[in-house]
Amino acid sequence: GKATSSTSSKSSSSSEALSGKVTAVGSTALQPLAAKAGANFQAKNSKVNLTVQGGGSGTGLSQVQAGAVSIGNSDIFAEEKEGIKADKLTDHKVAVVGMAPVVNKDAGIKNLKMAQVKQIFTGKITNWKEVGGKDQKIVIINRAQGSGTRATFENAVLKGATAVKSQEQDSNGAVQKIVATTPGAISYLAFSYFTNKLQAVSIDNVTPTDNNVESNKWKIWSYEHMYTKGTPDKAVAAFLKYMDSKTVQDSLVKDMGYISIHDMKVTKDAKGTVTQN
Partner 1 sequence: MEQTNFQLKKQKSQSNDWSARLHHATRATREDWMGKGISYLCIGVIILVVASMLWFITSKGVATFTQNHVSLTKFLFGTNWAPDQGHIGALPMIVGSFAVTFAAAIVATPFAVGTAIFMTEISPNKGRKLLQPVIELLVGIPSVVYGFIGLAVVVPFMRHVVGGSGFGIISATFVLFVMVLPTITSMTVDSLRAVPRHFKEASLALGATRWQTVSRVILRSATPGILTAVIFGMARAFGEALAVQMVIGNAAIMPKNLISPASTLTSQLTTGIGDTIDGTLPNNALWSLALILLLMSLFFNALVRVIAKRGQLKHER
Partner 2 sequence: MNAKRTDFLATVVINLIVATVVGILVFLLAYILISGLPHVSWSFLTGTTDAFSGAGGIGVQLFNSFYLLVLTMLISVPISLGAGIYLAEYAKDNWRTSLIRSAIEVLSSLPSVVVGLFGFLLFVVKFKIGFSVISGAIALTFFNLPLLTRNIEESLSAVSRSQREAGLSLGLSKWKTEIGIILPVALPGIVTGIVLSAGRVFGEAAALIYTAGQSAPVTNFGDWNPMDPASPLNPFRPAETLAVHIWKVNTEGLANNAAQLSAAASAVLIIAVLLFNLGARLLGNFLYRRVTASK
User: Of the two residues 171 and 215, which places its CB atom closer to partner 2 in the complex?
Assistant: 171
Question: What's the closest the beta carbon of residue 35 comes to partner 2, in angstroms?
Answer: 4
- One residue of 9, 171, 247, 267 binding partner 2 per CB under 8 A: 171
The Cα 10–Cα 66 span in angstroms is 31
> What one-letter code names the amino acid at 126?
T
CB of 176 to partner 1, least distance (A): 13
Stretch that binds partner 1, among 11-19, 80-88, 199-207, 236-244 (CB under 8 A): 80-88
Residues 81 and 76: their CA atoms lie apart, in Å, by: 8
Amino acid 93 reads K
What CA–CA distances, in Å, run from 273 to 44, 75, 222?
Answer: 39, 17, 12
Per-position x/- string for 1-40, each x denoting binding to partner 2 as judged by CB under 8 A, each - no binding: --------------------x-x-x--x--xxx-xx--x-
CA dist 56 and 75 (Å) reads: 9
User: Judged by CB, which is closer to partner 2: 115, or 256?
Assistant: 256
Number of residues located near partner 2, criterion CB under 8 A: 30
Cα gap 148→154, rounded to integer Å: 10
Site string for partner 1, 164-193 (x = CB under 8 A): -xxxxxx---x--xx--xx--x--------
Q: Which of 5, 145, 195, 211 binds partner 1 (CB under 8 A)?
A: 145
Q: Per-residue contact track with partner 1, 36 to 55, x per CB under 8 A?
A: ------------------xx
Residue spans of beta strands (DSSP E) within the chain: 2-3, 20-26, 48-55, 71-74, 89-104, 111-112, 139-143, 167-169, 185-190, 198-200, 202-203, 221-229, 266-268, 274-276
Spatial CB neighbours of 89, under 8 Å, sequence gap ≥ 6: 1, 61, 64, 65, 72, 78, 227, 228, 229
* Separation CA 53–CA 27 (nearest Å): 8
Candidate list 132, 173, 183, 230; residue touching partner 2; CB under 8 A: 173
Burial class (CB in 10 A: 0-12, 13-18, 19+), 165: exposed
Q: Which of 32, 108, 146, 272 binds partner 1 (CB under 8 A)?
A: 146
- Interface with partner 2 (CB under 8 A): 21, 23, 25, 28, 31-33, 35-36, 39, 49, 51-55, 63, 66, 68-69, 169-174, 192-193, 195, 256
- Interface with partner 1 (CB under 8 A): 28, 54-59, 61-62, 66, 81-84, 139, 144-148, 162, 165-170, 174, 177-178, 181-182, 185
